Amino acid sequence: MAHQPHRTDDLQQASFLIILAVVTLLMGVIVLPFSQPLLWAALAAIMFQPLYRNILRNMRGRRNPAAGVALLVIFFAIMVPAAMIATMVVEQAIVLIATLQQQPVDLAAMFEAVHSRLPNFAREAMDRNGWANISMVQTRLQEWLSASAGIIASQAVSIGSGALGVVLSFGVGLYVMFFLLRDGERIGRIVLSAIPLEREIVDRLAVRFLGIVRATIKGTGVVALVQGALGTITLMIAGVPSALLFGVLMAICALVPVIGSGVIWLPAAVWLLVAGETWQGVFVLASGFLVISSADNVLRPILVGRDTGIPDWIILITTLGGISLVGFSGIVLGPLVAGLFLASWSILREQREADFALADLGAEPDDGINIDASGHTPDNTAAAA
């Protein structure tokens, strides 16, 4: 009978943990429809926290007006231009596809022009491998253009029919961003203190998470936007139609490692050279290699300062996997998950190495706290040193 109170306490604790898990799961299911606007609101609040702090200092500590002003700055400086650019890109895509349908590109004539300039051995090799059958490519291209026009039209109809949902998600994102700007630090401290892990591990994970967010958005997103802008200007100077559309495609491709913006500007330059627009093609090639591609090497060290330690091949896999799982948000969510995954295993490895080092010195861990041979905890030992 002496053990009955302990059993009751254990039962109550287990019951509470089960209730906590169920309620947390239900909460996740309820907010799932707004998971993407909540994600972007949280990331925006993290990135624009310095802006909020500057405004807060100028407003002498009045948090509500400071958060409101910061939200207005974000809305008019970023969201409104982004919406305008998105509208223009859709219009250019529709016009470009309609133009190609009405005036299809004569690939056969262009192929003959290039084919006639090739050396004899190259022409014979192409003929032997069946690459000279350009009429089939032309037919497939027209079929693809018709299918693309139908897809864009259907997407436009679905966006229009779901306009209420889009507006609602946008409003929820702005509303949550206001409170995260105002109370983000306090909420972060509460969440960290509630996580059932050692405080040192939680703090290290939080630092790694903020570093990954900073590197992903500033070191990847900003660089991609700059490359897209440079690509748009380059194509506009070269006289390429729908330059803004291709510039946005460059920015999107620049977010994915290995692929990069070159998958857009390089074919555009080759197309211009084949079409006989020599200086335009040479200009796009020179700008692509010397300006657009160099933006990554110049801006990333300035914006990030240091690498996140995530290999490019892992970023590529997680980015593509994130896109296939959650759509466009996977471009950010995939690398974040990869970074936290590597950070967690790195912290575990460091702890194991520290335990082995203490074991070699003859120390034994006590209740999860490592004690060295002198009887000090690692924190006290570091402080004494």
Query: Which of 69, 335, 195, 127 lies closest to 203 in space, CA to CA?
Result: 195
Q: Are 370 and 377 in contact (CB under 8 A)?
A: yes
Which pLDDT tens digit goes with each residue over 205-217? 888 888 778 777 7
State the average pLDDT over residues 144-149.
56
Q: Are 240 and 267 in contact (CB under 8 A)?
A: no
Q: What is the rounded distance in angstroms from the CA atom of residue 260 to the CA atom of residue 220?
A: 11
Q: What is the rounded distance in angstroms from the CA atom of residue 171 to the CA atom of residue 164?
A: 10
Structure tokens at 352: 């194991």
Q: Is the pLDDT of residue 28 over 80?
A: yes
Q: Are 97 and 245 in contact (CB under 8 A)?
A: no
304 C-beta neighbours (distance < 10 Å), count: 19
Which pLDDT tens digit goes with each residue over 306-353? 555 677 788 888 888 888 887 777 888 888 888 888 888 888 888 888
Q: Is the pLDDT of residue 367 over 70?
A: no
Structure tokens at 7: 């059993």
Query: Which of 74, 76, 71, 80 lies closest to 182 in space, CA to CA?
Result: 71
Query: Which of 288, 317, 289, 309 lies closest to 216 in space, CA to CA?
Result: 309
Supply the pLDDT for residue 371: 41
Q: Is the pLDDT of residue 383 over 80?
A: no
Q: Is the pLDDT of residue 127 over 80?
A: no
Q: What is the rounded distance in angstroms from the CA atom of residue 314 to the CA atom of residue 320?
A: 10
Which pLDDT tens digit goes with each residue over 181-190? 999 888 888 8
Query: Which of 201, 204, 213, 206 lies closest to 310 in space, CA to CA?
Result: 213
Supply the pLDDT for residue 327: 78
| Residue ranges per structural domain of the chain | 32-194
Q: What is the rounded distance in angstroms from the CA atom of residue 146 to the CA atom of residue 143?
A: 5
Query: Which of 137, 150, 162, 144 lies closest to 94 in space, CA to CA?
Result: 150
Band (368; pLDDT cuts 50, 70, 90): very low
Token pair 């967010």 in the structure block, residue: 213
Mean pLDDT of the residues in the chain: 77
Q: What is the rounded distance in angstroms from the CA atom of residue 382 to the CA atom of residue 385?
A: 5
Cα-based distances in Å from 313 to 86, 216, 317, 340: 30, 15, 6, 16
Q: What is the rounded distance in angstroms from the CA atom of residue 77 to the CA atom of residue 33?
A: 27
Q: Give the 3-state secondary structure of residue 109.
A: helix
Band (155; pLDDT cuts 50, 70, 90): low
Which pLDDT tens digit goes with each residue over 50-108? 899 999 999 988 999 999 999 999 999 988 898 888 888 888 888 877 776 676 665 56
Q: Is the pLDDT of residue 153 over 70?
A: no
Q: Give the 3-state secondary structure of residue 166.
A: helix
Q: Is the pLDDT of residue 178 over 90?
A: yes
Which pLDDT tens digit goes with each residue over 252-284? 888 877 778 888 898 889 888 877 788 998 999
Cα-based distances in Å from 302 to 108, 178, 219, 272: 47, 29, 9, 34
Q: Are 308 and 211 in contact (CB under 8 A)?
A: yes
